[in-house]
Structure 1
Amino acid sequence: MACLFRRSIAAQLSRVLGISTEKLIPVVSAVPVSKKQQTLDFQVSVNSLLTNGYLKLGSNVQSQAKDLSEKLICDHVITEIAVGQRSINFKVNRSLLAEIVVQEVFKKGSKFGIVSELFSGYPCKRVIVEFSSPNIAKKFHAGHLRSTIIGNFIANLKQALGNHVIRMNYLGDWGLQFGLLGAGFQLFGSEEKLNANPLQHLFEVYVEVNKLAEDREDIQKAAQEFFKKLEHGEKQSVALWEHFRTISIEEYEKIYQRLGVHFDEYSGESLYQVKAQELLQLIDQRGLLKKTKQGVGVVDLSPTGDLSVYAKVVRSDGTSLYMTRDIAAAAHRMEKYNFDKMIYVTAKEQCTHFEQLFEVLKILGFNWSERCQHVSFGIVKGMKTRKGDVVFLEDVLNEARSRMLQNMAASKTTKELEDPASTAEKVGVAALIVQDFKGPLLSDYEFDWDRVLQSQGDTGVYLQYTHARLHSLQRQCGRGEERQFNPDCLQDPQAIALLQHLLRYDEVLHQVSEDLQPRHLVNYLIMLSRLASIAHRTLHIKGSLPEVATARLLLFKGISAVLANGMKLLGITPVEKM
């Protein structure tokens, strides 16, 4: 990929600065392709050289850039060196650019962009990613979509980079809500309705009992009583709870299959009721368990010890809390997996909870709490289906597929498909994912079906359309598995722009690996699709000389491969026809 070019530029700098080539490689970056014609390929920021101590503070930055550039020389790799704004810019041999980039795309395959000097020191570790985590006995709400696709993306990325990843779904399968549901089901539950539409019926029961509990103390007491029975292992209560849990997971797995998501482990709060009580004893033995005036057990997190900030760990009636079970779960996972990193993917409303969780773990002497990370995200506003306001993820997926089928049927360019519904599903899911990943994860955003499903612009539909179009081109002009080509046939501005953009792929993946923000990859793939569309219109294969046609077809094949790799990291299944 950019290996030879970065190394050559770093070697030139090494000769002048007396710093090792390896240390200088990271300061060499590919220049982003803009709409204006781009001529330079790489740049070195003088500020980054100063920050790293590779240049001494002295005269102004611009004059240092000029002085340094004059000591560098062109060779068979670097053909032009110029001073930019506080930077030194480099143009590389155009024939080498085409030859090396195209060859690397095919040679490295799915590892293109990952097998790079930028990841040479990347430690491969054992990583737990906890994501999705719906509450059992409730339908999978659209609000869980973000946790599911963000967590899946992080797991995909970590795995692609060589980590041993454990994908964990930590179900909300315990707590007072089950007291409410159990009491409600005993009052007006129906086995017949439960078998016919499990989660819908449980949702209706839960809504109904919640309404009653607002005004009736007997319902509240019945809920508390049911949960107490659960905590003490009373057979009938546990049997009902186990039934709810089993059918919930079966229903959720249907949704995960549609999203292309899988889990290595289904965990849950219920597994930690005993461990939570053991932990409470440990907290108490260490003198860390304090009581509020209401009798709630807490761990003091205030710097002055005045209980101005605390984490609740046990109810006044002695039953465990979400926090207690989370502490127990974290400790158990360290015992079981000895993880190097554990990433929790939940909404930003839970930021305080995780700050407190990590703080309590630290107070308890679990130094590995520093290996825990919370990746938070904002809320989606306005995600409604045609049916109404209460949005379940199943309804959202059905709506995306339905609307996409309509759009495909209305389009003149739609191909004959063996399974239009399956294609519409994949394109619809891509649309939902790209819409979600376009901005910073912490941002809330307004959902708009028409914008999400547009075939042009920065949408998942556009990525799928571009990928399908490039495959259509290959079907029409396929020349077997020819890998030999003349790089001089890829010197048109449109081809150069694509090659330059490919130079940046490893940098984008490296940036994403640092901050876990998928928007960098989404923006990169959108630009790749735009450049591919421009090239598709101008770099014709049919009617061109055989040598030119071969080179161009290879370039387009390479682009579709990189586009597919990037989409798969995002959790999108690329389609070859639409």
Structure 2
Amino acid sequence: MACFFRRSIAAKLGRALQQSEDVFINALSAVPVFKKQSSPVFKLPITVLQSSGILPSTGDIQQQTENLAHQLHQDSVVEEISAGPGVINFKINRKLLVQKMVEPFGGEEDDKFGLNSELFKDLKRGTTLVEYSSPNIAKKFHAGHLRSTIIGNFIANLKQSLGNNVIRMNYLGDWGMQFGLLGAGFGQFGCKEKLKQNPLQHLFEVYVEVNREAEHNEDMKEAARDFFRQLEHHESEAVSLWKQFREITVDEYQHVYKRLGVHFDVYSGESFHQDQAQTVVQLLQSRGLLKTSERGTSVVDLSPAGDMSSVCTVLRSDGTTLYITRDLAAAIDRKERFQFDEMIYVTDKSQANHFQQLFQILLALGHSWADRCQHVPFGLVRGMKTRSGEVVFLEDVLDEARARMLHNMRQTKTTKELENPEDTAEKVGISALIIQDFKGPLLSDYKFDWERMLQAQGDTGVFLQYTHARLCSLLERNEGAQADVVDPSLLLEHTSLNILQHLLRYDEVLCQSAQDLQPRHLVNFLLKLCHLIALAHRELPVKGSSQDVAQARFRLFRGACSVLTNGMKILGITPVDKM
């Protein structure tokens, strides 16, 4: 419903400046609310009109602001227009604001609120392929993979909610020299019985042991190189052992993904592209892009001057492929198979150079669609340790979050009787992990803090879940107050208006998130919404109010709950109804 008001103000500006109203839609923004003071509802920065050439870029900004404000006149929609420092403020008729904002929450389509905004008309639609999580097989899911998994899931959810056809891909690290080490090591240190009992733990132990051995034993290194050569040449015994490792790993990972509420449309892997990687090498050769280094490796010269000052190695001296060779083959294959309009890779920031080289080589091969490929990098998590303080596997972190949340719930007097308290604790614990991760810029490293993460009062995932459960309880207890038509004049208190004015910003927040793929905008929006709801709980009782007041307030809380639910789902959080 923000669209109705934006369109009305844009039409007013269009008439005054003799421009199409469409040029003003994206320039108008809803003003963040403040608890204790009334504020304008929309604002228009004059600098936006200057940069787009609608107003002269020279001259006194404040004078231009006041002149334009003077040309605009109030009407039944906009009741007050004023000039602020470099911005024009628009105050909306409050009764109309309430009427238009609560309208969508009276029917079955309330889960679509904010998603059909005209702010999204310039966003690229079509098919988006998101590659995320992508752990290495034959290794337990490390806590470090949590970030790629939940960030990628958020991006996929966001793109899907905005109408894109999304392909969620898990590109497993299932090829390369580490499998040479593991294959050779399993022959020496592996035990088939232990592999059956605790497969990934045993493979992890073998991997640690063989790496230790290879540090001082040249024979072990040679055995590893030999095993990988056997894999590349499809020798049956090596391939059979590798397949066993891969199947075991995918089964174990799917269990973790289920706990996180994450799913994939495609499980791919480096191994799928080993043969195609050789084709890419031949293509590079035929285009004259392949050079041989002094060490006998095959490289692509990426230096602007063509002086080999910056090269990318695509083949080892023994002719085996590398990670980037297989990534080139994978990208070309995906374009052919899925005809994506954009492809997004979600990995940590240490791989930034890898993706820069990948996109450069694709462009050099004539694949102009490489410009529509993007790397979303993220920083490291520091201090993510369990009580034992050992190497942190993701399942340990999830178990710890669930256990601590269960303990907190048992200590809290307001905790409801739950059918499955462990399941609720799991969902709340995971939402706490996600919100702690998503509150800042993704590129920043951050320090993980168990105590802060699980607080119910601060700006945490627990607070989001608590607010959602409380709203569900209020709506269930007051079901009789649901009505098809409500009187908007009964929601003119400052507390009600603050919630509705805040909801006006939902489409802007989603638009901002879609542009920079950062979840923090949505997280901050939802946390602010929860604070406003907490105040409304105290000041706007439904029970005990007259019927028409109860109906109006019920609609307000239903709308707030609907937006909170949808926003949490986009973040990858499963909302709980009781806790």
Q: TM-score, normalised by structure 1?
A: 0.99
Instruction: Name 2:126's counterpart in structure 1.
Output: 125
C-alpha displacement of 1:85? 1.1
Q: Which position in structure 2 is the counterpart of 1:60?
A: 60
Shift of 1:106: 4.4
Deviation at 1:494, TM superposition (A): 0.5
Deviation per residue, 1:111-133 (Å, 9 max, x gap): 21111111134342111000000
Structure 2 counterpart of 1:504, which letter? R
Residue of structure 1 in register with 2:437 after alignment: 436
Which residue is 1:524 aligned to? 525
Counterpart-to-counterpart distance in 2, 1:483 and 1:440: 42
| Helix, strand or coil at the partner of 2:254 | helix
Matches within 5 A, 1:62-461: 62-107=62-107, 108-461=109-462
**Deviation readout 1:434-461 (Å, 9 max, x if unpaired):** 0110000000000010001110111100
Deviation at residue 142 of structure 1 after TM alignment: 0.5
| Residue number in structure 1 paired with 2:16 | 16
Instruction: Give SS of 2:480's match.
Output: coil
Shift of 1:575: 0.4
Letter in 2 for 1:92: I
Look up the SS of the partner of 1:336 in the other structure: helix
Q: CA deviation at 1:48?
A: 0.9
Give distance in 1, aligned partners of 2:60 and 2:533.
41
Moved more, 119-128 or 537-546: 119-128
AA partner of residue 207 (structure 2): Y
Deviation at 1:481, TM superposition (A): 4.1
Letter in 2 for 1:20: S
Match of 1:43 in 2: 43
Letter of the aligned partner of 2:300 in structure 1? Answer: V
**In terms of mean alpha carbon deviation, does 534-543 or 153-162 score higher?**
534-543
Judged with a 3 Å threshold, the aligned counterparts in structure 2 of structure 1 residues 185 and 106 are, in CA distance, closer, same or farther, namely farther
Q: CA separation in 1, counterparts of 2:92 and 2:114?
A: 19
Distance, in Å, in 1 between the alignment partners of 2:360 and 2:122 is 30
Stretch moving more, 525-534 or 296-305: 296-305
CA distance in 2, matches of 1:281, 1:58: 57
> Which whole-Å CA distance do the structure 2 matches of 1:38 and 1:247 have between them?
60
Say if 1:303 and 1:121 are closer, same or farther in 2 by CA, change over 3 A: closer
Q: Which range is displaced more, 107-116 or 238-247?
A: 107-116
- Measured in 1, the distance between the counterparts of 2:481 and 2:240 equals 60
Aligned pair 1:570/2:571, yes or no?
yes
Could you give the per-residue CA deviations for residues 60-101 of structure 1, whole angstroms, max 9, x where no partner exists? Answer: 111111111111111111111111111111111111111111
Amino acid at match of 1:70: H
Contact 2:482–2:551 (CA<8 Å) still a contact in 1? no
Instruction: State how far apart, in whole Å, the 2-side matches of 1:369 and 1:119 are.
Output: 24
Counterparts of 2:54 and 2:196, CA distance in 1: 69
Give the AA of the match of 1:289: L
Which residue does the alignment assign to 1:6? 6
- What SS does structure 1 have at the residue aligned with 2:174? coil
Retained in 1: the 8 A contact 2:131–2:168? Answer: yes
Distance 2:573 2:362 in 1: 36
Distance 1:128 1:56 in 2: 42
CA contact (8 A) 2:481 2:554 kept: no
Work out whether residues 179 and 222 of structure 1, in 8 Å CA contact, stay in contact via their aligned partners in 2: yes
Report deviation, 1:58: 4.5
Is the 1:483–1:554 Cα contact (8 Å) retained in structure 2?
no
User: TM-score scaled by structure 2?
Assistant: 0.98
Residue 105 of structure 1 contacts residue 562 of structure 1 at CA under 8 Å; is this kept in 2? no
Structure 1 counterpart SS, 2:288: coil
User: What residue ranges of structure 1 are gaps of 5+ in the alignment?
Assistant: none
Please say which of residues 322-331 and 56-65 is displaced more in the overlay: 56-65
What is the alpha-carbon distance in structure 2 between the residues aligned to residue 328 and residue 58 of structure 1? 52
Q: Cα deviation per residue 1:166-207 (whole Å; 9 max; x = unaligned)?
A: 100000000000000001111011111111111111001001
Counterpart CA distance in 2 for 1:424 and 1:102 is: 33
Shift of 1:286: 2.3
> Which segments of structure 1 move beyond 6 Å, counting only runs of 4 or more?
none
Give me the whole-angstrom Cα distance separating, in 2, the residues matched to 1:543 and 1:502. 26
Cα shift readout 1:127-179 (whole Å, capped 9, x = no counterpart): 10000000000000010000000000000011111111110000000000000
Number of aligned residues = 578
